[in-house]
Every structure is written in structure tokens, then in C-alpha cells.
Homo-oligomer: A and B are copies of this chain.
Amino acid sequence: MGHEFDLQIQVDAAGDGRYRADLADGWRVGGGLNGGYLLSVIGNAISTALPGKPDPITMSAYFLSPAAPGPATVEVDVRREGGRVATVAADLRQGDAARITTLATYGDLSGADTGVRTTAAEIDLPPLEECVSNDFAPPEVKKMAPLMDRFDMRFHPDQVGWAVGAPSGRGELSAWFRLVDGREPDPIGLLMVVDALPPVTLDLGQMGWAPTMELTVHVRARPAPGWLKVRHVTRNVAGGMFEEDCEVWDSAGRLVAQSRQLALLPRTGS
């Protein structure tokens, strides 16, 4: 224990399905805190509220206003419990302000390894040493995204042209991923991982951070320890919005999380 990430997502029961959290300054990005980090905080509160059902299976989050570092409350309302899964509504609030509202179904993913049939192709990444570390991110990206200091990311060398003004235009970003504090991935951590990479719109030449409207993640298995492979893809930019599909594969070569978010295009030039 004692990993930074576990301390940053810690929650304390305050009765009546309420949990207190202290949102960490280190997860700032753009004008708020990273959505994936906030989902891990919410997800940790739900896990605490549901004995015997520790793992998120699916969570849908709607982002209402940017969160700020400091005290916050997660309110968990169980909508259905019984059998192998439970469904809850959970809201993250700071004072009077609603930050995120979610729905989620939880269960126990241990022993869910039987009958796997994956036709999706594992993310194709060169070896670590041939990939590009986030240490090399341009200063304007680092300034916009202090949360990158939490991550050890190694980007596919064919997908980092955006960092030098030459985006590929394909709408794809992929990277090796782990937390710098050495904390191993687990289902609660995956809620953060699916929103950790920069927006895929960088690869379309649209610099700037992209506010998430909605994000749904399916956790399909408990990840093995070690490096994760993460990929963001978009295939439809329209009406000032784009969808961003994310896959996360673990070190055992298994597809452990699938997510999709709908986000607003970055403001031009920002």
C-alpha cells in the first residue's frame, strides 16, 4: 500500500451512502480535474458501498461542471441489488455544485475468465524502447496537462507527429501505460486509464483539450500486473463533437476495458 494513486482516490464513509473524498491537485488538466481520475474516486466509493461486488462492470458518466482540487462528496444510491450484480446511481458533488452524475453496474470479476472469445486485434505497439516517452511532450501540452506527471506513457512513434506540428490525420493515438508510483492496474484504476491519454483529436491537428460530455466504460476482466496498452480512436467528427473509443489490453494480452466517450471539439487555436 501507500501508492500515491490509492491515497488520491481514498474515500471515507460519512453515512447514508455518502463518502468524503479529497480531490488531488496533481490531476489537473485544462480548466478542471481529469475525468478518468474522478471516475476512479466515484468508482472507489461505489465499491466500498457494495460488499462482495467490488468491481465496476459498466459505468456511464455525464460531466456537469469542472471539478476543482479539494473536498468532494460521492453520493451512492443503490437502484437494484440481488443476484450477481448491483446497479447504482452515484453523484460527485463539491458544495452545492454537481460535478458528475453516473450510473454503474458492479459485480465480482474474479473467476470471470471462462469462455473468452476476442476477435478484436491486440493493440500493435513497437517495443517500449522504440516508443516515445511523455517526457518529450511539448511544453504547451505539459502546461495544459499537469496530470501527465502521474503517468509513464510510451507513444507509438508513428502517432506522435502532432507533437511536432505534423499530425497523421488518421485519428488514432496509442501508448504503453503505467502509473509512475508503481501501483498495478485493477478495475477501479481502469476507470482512470480509459481517459488518461491526450485527446485523439491531437492526431487530427486540433490542439487543445477536449471536454468530455459522456463516457461509458466496460471493464471486461481484472487486468494482469504490468504495462497496459491503450488506444484511442475516433471515426466520426460531426456537429462540433467527436466520439473517442478506447481499448485497454493488459500484459497477458487480454482486452480488459472498452470505453467510448462523446466529447466537444477543442476550441480552435487553444
Name A residues whose Cβ lies closer than 8 Å to a Cβ of B: 57-58, 60, 62, 64-65, 79-80, 85, 87, 89, 98, 101-103, 105, 109, 112-120, 170-171, 204, 213-214, 216, 218, 220-221, 234-241, 243, 255, 258, 260, 262, 265
Chain B residues with CB below 8 A from A120, complex form = 235-236
A182 to chain B, nearest CB (A): 28
B57 touches A213 (CB 8 A): yes
A79 touches B64 (CB 8 A): yes
A60 touches B216 (CB 8 A): yes
Chain B residues with CB below 8 A from A258, complex form = 236, 243, 260
Partner of A238, one of B87, B89, B115, B238: B115
What's the Cα separation between A221 and B236 when bound, in Å? 11
Partner of A115, one of B60, B79, B105, B240: B240
B235 touches A220 (CB 8 A): no
A236 touches B216 (CB 8 A): no
Partner of A237, one of B57, B62, B115, B170: B115
What's the Cα separation between A103 and B262 when bound, in Å? 14
* A–B complex contacts, Cβ < 8 Å, 10 sampled: A57-B241, A62-B79, A105-B213, A114-B240, A119-B171, A218-B262, A220-B239, A220-B243, A221-B238, A258-B260
Q: A80-B65, A216-B260, A236-B258 are in contact. Are A60 and B60 (CB under 8 A)?
A: yes
Q: Which of A241, A255, A265 is most buried by chain B, counting CB atoms within 10 A of its CB? A: A241
Question: Chain A's interface: helix, strand, loop or mixed, by majority?
Answer: strand
What's the Cα separation between A201 and B31 when bound, in Å? 43
Closest to A254 in B: B238
Partner of A239, one of B79, B109, B119: B109
B65 touches A118 (CB 8 A): no
Chain B residues with CB below 8 A from A234, complex form = 119
Partner of A89, one of B89, B221, B236: B89
B220 touches A62 (CB 8 A): no
Chain B residues with CB below 8 A from A62, complex form = 58, 60, 79, 87, 103, 105
Chain B residues with CB below 8 A from A80, complex form = 64-65, 98
Chain B residues with CB below 8 A from A115, complex form = 237-240, 265
What's the Cα separation between A113 and B103 when bound, in Å? 30
A115 to chain B, nearest CB (A): 7
A35 to chain B, nearest CB (A): 14
What's the Cα separation between A234 and B258 when bound, in Å? 12
A103 touches B105 (CB 8 A): no
Chain B residues with CB below 8 A from A119, complex form = 170-171, 234-236
